[in-house]
Amino acid sequence: MGRPGRKGSAVAPLCALGTLLSLLVPTQASRSPDCGGILTPSGLSYLAEVSRPYAEMVLRQDLMDTRAPDLPLGSPKASSRDQISSVQVADLSLSLVPEAGLRLGIEADLGIVPPAAAPRLARLSILADLRVDLSPDGDLQLTTSACRPTVEEVREKAEDKLICLEVSKLLLLPNEQLMSLTAQFPVTPSCQVQYLPLAAPVISEEGITMSLQTTFQVAGIAVPLPVSPVPFSMPELVSSSPSHLTLALSEHFYTSLFFALERAGAFNMTILSPLTTATMAQKITQVGSLYPEDLPVMLRAELRSSPRVELEEGRAALKLFLTVHIGAGSPDFQSFLSMSADVTAGLLLSVTDTRMMISAAAIKKPTLKLSPSQAALLEELFLGTVREEVPVWMNAVLSEGVHLPHASSFTYTDVSVMIHKDYVLLLCNLKLQARHSEQGAAA
C-alpha cells in the first residue's frame, strides 16, 4: 500500500524525533564527548502533537488513493471495491521504552464508501515499536522493530500488514533528511562547526540522552583540537524538567570553539588608535624621525598562545593572550613598538533561534607586559584603547552566533541559560517552524 518515493516534507514531523537524534555522523572511537542533550518526555509529547496533522495528511494521500490495495475492512463480505472517503487521525502518541526504543501509537477514523451501500466508519489502529540505531555508514536512523495494525468495524477486527509496510516507508524520508544534516554550520565565513554522535542514544525514563563530539573545520581542513583532560558526561538533572530539551555544553566545547577561531585568524585584530604619529612624537621622540608625515597610529594584535574559557557558577570568562604591535602606515604597516597584553573578558551567553549568542562584556584592566621604563607611558597611551576596542572586535567576530545541535524543522524557545562550573546548561522548548506548521494546517 502507498507509493514509494513521495516527495515533500509532509512526513518529517512524524519521525521528527529521528531528526533530533541524527546529529550527525559517527566519530572515531578515540574521541570523547564535549556536549550532549536529553530529549525529555514532555519534548516527546510535543513531537507527537505536531506530528498528528502530518500523519493525517500522509494517510489521506495513501489510503484515499484509488490505486492503493484494498484493506480488509472488517467483514469478510466487504467489497474489494470499497473506497476510503475520509481519514481523521484522532490520536498520535510517542512514548519511551527504556533500554529499547520508542512506541508509536496512531488511532485514525476512516470513512468507508461501498459501491452499493450506505457509508460507514472504521477505526484504524497502529502500534509500532521504533528503534534508534547506527546505520552501516554510521548515521543514526529510525527503524521499525515491530508493528501491530488493526482495522475495526463495529465488533469485527482485521489485521493489515500492508499498513506496517507503510509505517516503515514513512521512516525513509526523515532518514534522508537526517543524512542531509551532516552539513557543517558556519561560525565565520572560513570556520564551520559539526556535531558528531558517539553512539546510539540511550533511552531511559528520563528521556533520550545523546553524547556528541564537536569538530571544526577552517578553510575545509579539520582543526586538530586540544584534548579534554576529563571526558564530559551529561549532568544528572536534579528533578524532572518541564522543558522539551536539555542541552549541556562543556568548558572544553567553548575552549575548542575559540581555538578554532584562532586558527581561522579571527583574532588577528587591527585597531585604529585615536593617536597620530605627531602626537606620539611628543611622548616618544624617535617616532617623529620614523614618520615624517603625520599618520594615524594603529595597533595590530595577534594571539601568542591559545585562548582559554573558564566557567564558574554564574559566570563565564575568556582569556586572551595577545602580542600587540604599535605602528603606522597602510597598507605598508611599520611597527615601532611591541608589547604583550593579557585580556580577560566576561562572556554573556544567550540563545536566538538555534544559535548560541556569545558577546564580550567589559574587560577588566588588561595586563600589559612592558619594560619598567615604558610601562607607565604606554599604559597611559594605549590601555584605554585595548580595553574598549578588543570587545568590539570580538563581538563582530561572534555576531552570527554558533549553531547548536538542532533539527532543521524546529527552533528553540523559552530558553534558560545556566552557567555552572565546567559546563553550561540550556533548558529549552521546541517550536515547529512556520513553514512546517502551514503545511500541517493545509492537511
Q: CA-based Rg of the chain, rounded to a whole angstrom?
A: 30
In the chain, the N- to C-terminal Cα span, in Å, equals 20
Using DSSP, state whether 179 is helix, strand or coil: helix
Instruction: Supply the DSSP symbol for 49.
Output: H
Inform me whether the pLDDT recorded for 413 exceeds 80: yes
d(CA 391, CA 288): 31
Q: Which residue has the higher pLDDT, 193 or 437?
A: 193
Using DSSP, state whether 244 is helix, strand or coil: coil
d(CA 112, CA 110): 6
Q: What are the backbone dihedrals phi and psi of residue 332, each rounded to the nearest 5 degrees, phi first?
A: -85, 80
d(CA 175, CA 372): 65
Inform me whether the pLDDT recorded for 247 exceeds 80: yes
Instruction: Say if residues 424 and 430 touch (Cβ distance below 8 Å).
Output: no
Buried b (16+ CB within 10 A) or exposed e, 90-116: eebbbebeeeebbebebebebebeeee
pLDDT digits (tens, 9 = 90+) for 292-351: 889 999 999 999 999 999 999 999 999 999 999 999 988 888 888 888 889 999 999 999
Q: Residue 7 burial (CB < 10 Å; 0-12/13-18/19+)?
A: exposed
Q: Which residues, listed in sequence order, are joined to residue 242 by a DSSP beta bridge?
A: none
Instruction: Say if residues 14 and 55 touch (Cβ distance below 8 Å).
Output: yes
Using DSSP, state whether 186 is helix, strand or coil: strand
Instruction: Say if residues 222 and 399 touch (Cβ distance below 8 Å).
Output: no
Q: Tell me what pLDDT residue 76 has.
A: 47
Query: Which of the listed ranges 111-125, 143-157, 171-185 does the model predict with the highest average pLDDT?
Result: 111-125
Instruction: Say if residues 385 and 299 touch (Cβ distance below 8 Å).
Output: yes
Residues 6+ apart with CB under 8 A from 377: 283, 284
pLDDT band at 73 (very low <50, low <70, confident <90, very high): low
C-alpha cell at 378: 604606554
C-alpha cell at 206: 528520563
pLDDT digits (tens, 9 = 90+) for 140-167: 778 888 888 888 876 555 556 666 766 6
Q: Structure pTM?
A: 0.82
